[in-house]
């Protein structure tokens, strides 16, 4: 049986004439049935066939839940079949392990308007008047280090490592192919297209990236900077999706954001532990790696492969 056929037959047994009363009744019963199933699970564990709660009772409660969900959809003018299809699509977006894109956002632009496909940046920590500061630099062809941006402190009452937050912009660039902040630092804004230059590489996009970076950082601080994590909370991913909406990064899937955040924090933790180091990014391989200042890469510094 298809959902639309179930919905057609189920609506014939709705005993309420008023839509509001019908919806309220279904929502109350949904809560009761879900709570009943939760209690049965707590009492009986994974075994459905027990003397106190046989499989038939589970089946009946699940059927009641299905009826009330169908009824709410019907009363709200929603096609139950399309609700199910949309949910499956959402699930695929949530748990898709493969990067959603092969091309980079700046493919087709002049090379001097593209993010470098491979790049090594150096994070150097210094002490200044009792405060820790980080300098971000890249090496010129002459062998000299060229500083990018200003010296960064934690801008906080506590030593929380935010002075290394540029690593998250590098992770965005490496995994998402997106970082208005890094574009500004590297002076590779897409000026050949004034619309892209203004909307995707301009001040508002930069503020968006800085804002979502700070938002995730506060979340990460409460979770040991995601050490040991292999996924992100769905609500966090949905927030990132909303914050990036209207920008090219808004097309990135949850799997892209998950990898960008977790890989960025893996390298962040290494920078904090070692008080600096090099960070290599490879946009083609969707990869970001930590390299100590002495050049010897520890095993824990090697992260996930691209793709």
Residue 22 confidence (pLDDT) above 90 = yes
pLDDT value of residue 130: 82
pLDDT in tens, 106-128: 999 999 999 999 999 999 999 88
Is the model more confident about 142 or about 256?
A: 256
pLDDT value of residue 53: 65
pLDDT in tens, 49-105: 556 667 777 888 899 999 999 999 999 999 999 999 988 887 776 666 555 567 899
Query: Which percentage of the chain shows pLDDT scores above 70?
Result: 90
pLDDT value of residue 145: 87
The DSSP secondary structure of the chain, one letter per residue, reads --HHHHHHHHGGG---SSHHHHHHHHHHHHHHHHHHHHHHHHHHTT----SSS-HHHHHHHHHHHHHHHHHHHHHTT--HHHHHHHHHHHHHHHH--S-S-SS-TTTTS-GGGS--SEEEEEEEEEEETTEEEEEEEEE-TTS-EEE-S--B---SSS---GGGTHHHHHHIIIIIS--HHHHHHHT---TTSHHHHHHTSSHHHHHHHHHHHHHHHHHHHTTGGGTT-SS--HHHHHHHHHHTTTSGGGG--HHHHHHHHHHHHHHHHHHHHHTEEEEEEETTTTEEEEE-TTS---GGG------
Residue 221 confidence (pLDDT) above 60 = yes
Domain locations in the chain as residue ranges: 3-95, 111-301
Residue 269 pLDDT grade (very low, low, confident, very high; cuts 50, 70, 90) = very high
Residue 45 confidence (pLDDT) above 70 = no
pLDDT value of residue 36: 85
The stretch 165-172 carries a mean pLDDT of: 98
The stretch 130-137 carries a mean pLDDT of: 92
pLDDT value of residue 200: 97
pLDDT in tens, 171-211: 999 999 999 999 999 999 999 999 999 999 999 999 999 99
The stretch 216-238 carries a mean pLDDT of: 95
**pTM as predicted:** 0.73
CATH (residue range 3-95): 1.10.287
pLDDT value of residue 100: 55
């Amino acid at each position: 049986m298809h959902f639309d056929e179930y919905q057609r037959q189920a609506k014939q047994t709705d005993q309420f004439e008023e839509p509001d009363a019908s919806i309220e009744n279904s929502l109350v019963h949904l809560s009761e049935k879900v709570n009943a199933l939760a209690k049965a699970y707590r009492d009986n564990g994974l075994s459905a066939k027990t003397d106190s709660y046989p499989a038939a009772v589970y089946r009946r409660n699940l059927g009641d839940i299905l009826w009330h969900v169908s009824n709410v959809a019907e009363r709200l003018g929603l096609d139950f079949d399309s609700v199910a299809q949309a949910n499956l699509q959402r699930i695929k977006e949530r748990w898709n392990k493969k990067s959603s894109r092969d091309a980079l956002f700046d493919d087709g632009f002049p090379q001097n308007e593209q993010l470098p496909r491979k790049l090594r940046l150096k994070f150097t920590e210094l002490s200044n008047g009792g405060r820790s500061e980080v300098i971000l630099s890249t090496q010129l062809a002459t062998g000299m280090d060229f500083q990018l941006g200003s010296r960064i402190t934690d801008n906080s009452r506590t030593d929380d490592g935010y002075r290394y937050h540029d690593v998250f912009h590098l992770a965005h660039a490496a995994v998402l192919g997106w970082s208005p902040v890094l574009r500004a630092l590297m002076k590779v804004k897409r000026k050949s297209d004034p619309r892209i230059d203004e909307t995707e590489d301009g001040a508002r996009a930069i503020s968006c990236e800085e804002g979502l970076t700070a938002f995730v950082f506060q979340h990460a601080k409460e979770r040991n900077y995601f050490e040991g994590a292999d996924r992100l909370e769905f609500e966090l991913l949905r927030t990132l999706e909303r914050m990036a909406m209207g920008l090219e990064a808004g097309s990135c899937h949850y799997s892209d954001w998950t990898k960008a955040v977790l890989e960025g924090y893996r390298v962040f933790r290494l920078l904090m532990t070692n008080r600096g180091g090099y960070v290599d990014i490879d946009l083609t391989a969707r990869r970001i790696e930590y390299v100590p200042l002495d050049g010897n890469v520890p095993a824990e510094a090697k992260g996930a492969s691209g793709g």
